[in-house]
C-alpha cells in the first residue's frame, strides 16, 4: 500500500520564478492538504482540497494556489517566488470524514 | 481558534531514562490531538492520536500520551529512551468537526538521547 508521495524531492529556484509541486495521496484517501515548514518551525497549513475544490485556506497570499485532479492527486503552485518561500513543503492526505492526516516526505524548495 | 504550545524547544535525556515532552493546547471546540515525529530530512510520521475515546493513548515505538482536559494538556511520554528516538517531535490540534480539518502545530521539541 503506497503512502503519500511527493515530487520533486528538492528544487532550487530564483526570486520571481514560479514553481509547481506535486502530491499523490495514500491509496483510498480523497482529501489533500498542503503545509509549509520553514527551517526550525512547525508546519503551517496552506490549504486543503476535496472534490477538486479548495475547502479551507490558511493565512497565505494568493501567490499560493493549488489544484486537485479527478484521481485525487494535487499540485501546489507558487508564483513570484520570494526568498522567504524557501521551506519544506509537505503534502498530507486523509479521508474527508477522517481526522488523521498522513504526510509525504516533502519537497525542499530553495529560493535564491 | 486553536493553538499549541510545546514547552522546551530542546530536551536531552540519557538512554534508558524517562522521556517527557510537554504539549498544551487551546481550542474553542472539542479537539483532536496528535503527536508526530520527524527524523532529519524526512516528513512527519504519526506517533499517536486522541480522538475523544480513551484519554490515555498508546502509540508506536512505546510512546503514550494522556489527554487532560482540566489542564488542557497532552504530554508525550516513554518509559525508557532509545538512541533511535532522537528526532523532532510535534504536537498538533485540529477541531472535531466530523470532516478533515487543518492541523495547527506547535513549534516542535528536539529530543536528544545521550549514552
A42 neighbourhood in chain B, CB within 8 Å: 4, 90, 92, 105-108
Name which of A33, A31, A24 is nearest A5 in CA terms.
A24
Instruction: Give me the total of CB pairs closer than 8 Å, taking one residue from chain A and one from chain B.
Output: 66
d(CA B54, CA B63): 15
Query: How close A93 comes to chain B (CA, Å)?
Result: 9
Interface test with B, best of A32, A99, A103 (most B CBs within 10 A): A99
For residue A1, what pLDDT is reported?
Answer: 64
Q: For residues A63-83, give the mean pLDDT.
A: 97
A40 neighbourhood in chain B, CB within 8 Å: 108
Q: For residues A11-23, give the mean pLDDT.
A: 98
A2 by Cβ neighbours in 10 Å (0-12 / 13-18 / 19+) ranks as: exposed
Query: How close B84 comes to chain A (CA, Å)?
Result: 19
Residue B103 and residue A101: Cβ atoms within 8 Å? yes
Per-residue cell: A102: 498522513
The b-or-e profile of A33-67 (16+ CB within 10 A means b, else e) is: bbbbbeeeebbbbbbbbbeeeebeebeeeeebbbe
For residue B30, what pLDDT is reported?
Answer: 82
Q: For residues A59-84, give the mean pLDDT.
A: 97
Q: Is some CB atom of chain A closer than 8 A to the CB atom of B36?
A: yes
Per residue in A28-46, pLDDT (tens digit) is 999 999 999 999 899 999 9
One pLDDT digit (tens) per residue for chain B, 115 residues:
889 999 999 999 999 999 999 999 998 888 899 999 999 888 999 999 998 778 899 999 999 999 999 999 999 999 999 999 999 999 999 987 778 789 999 999 999 999 9
Residue B51 and residue A90: Cβ atoms within 8 Å? no
Per-residue cell: B96: 472535531
Nearest beta carbon to residue B108 from set A42, A96, A102 = A42
- Tell me the C-alpha to C-alpha distance, in Å, between residue B105 and each of A23, A41, B6, B99: 21, 9, 9, 18
The mean of the pLDDT values for chain A is 95
Per residue in A97-106, pLDDT (tens digit) is 888 999 999 9
Q: For residues A46-73, give the mean pLDDT.
A: 96
For residue B51, what pLDDT is reported?
Answer: 87
For residue B66, what pLDDT is reported?
Answer: 95
pLDDT greater at residue B96 or residue A49: A49
Amino acid at each position: 500500500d503506497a503512502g503519500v508521495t511527493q515530487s520533486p524531492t528538492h528544487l532550487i529556484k530564483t526570486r520571481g520564478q514560479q514553481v509547481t509541486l506535486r502530491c499523490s495521496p495514500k491509496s483510498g484517501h480523497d482529501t489533500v492538504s498542503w503545509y509549509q515548514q520553514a527551517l526550525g518551525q512547525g508546519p503551517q497549513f496552506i490549504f486543503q482540497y476535496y472534490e477538486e475544490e479548495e475547502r479551507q485556506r490558511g493565512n497565505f497570499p494568493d501567490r499560493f494556489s493549488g489544484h486537485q485532479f479527478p484521481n485525487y492527486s494535487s499540485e501546489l503552485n507558487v508564483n513570484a517566488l520570494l526568498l522567504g518561500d524557501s521551506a519544506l513543503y509537505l503534502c498530507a492526505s486523509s479521508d474527508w470524514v477522517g481526522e488523521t492526516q498522513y504526510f509525504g516526505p516533502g519537497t525542499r524548495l530553495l529560493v535564491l | 481558534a486553536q493553538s499549541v504550545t510545546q514547552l522546551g524547544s530542546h530536551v536531552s535525556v540519557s538512554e534508558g531514562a524517562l522521556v517527557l515532552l510537554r504539549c498544551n493546547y487551546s481550542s474553542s471546540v472539542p479537539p483532536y490531538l496528535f503527536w508526530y515525529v520527524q527524523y532529519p530530512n524526512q516528513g512527519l510520521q504519526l506517533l499517536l492520536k486522541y480522538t475523544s475515546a480513551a484519554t490515555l493513548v498508546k502509540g508506536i515505538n512505546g510512546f503514550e500520551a494522556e489527554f487532560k482536559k482540566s489542564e488542557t494538556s497532552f504530554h508525550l511520554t516513554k518509559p525508557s529512551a532509545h538512541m533511535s528516538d532522537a528526532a523532532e517531535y510535534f504536537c498538533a490540534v485540529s477541531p472535531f468537526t466530523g470532516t478533515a480539518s487543518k492541523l495547527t502545530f506547535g513549534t516542535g521539541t528536539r529530543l536528544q538521547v545521550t549514552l
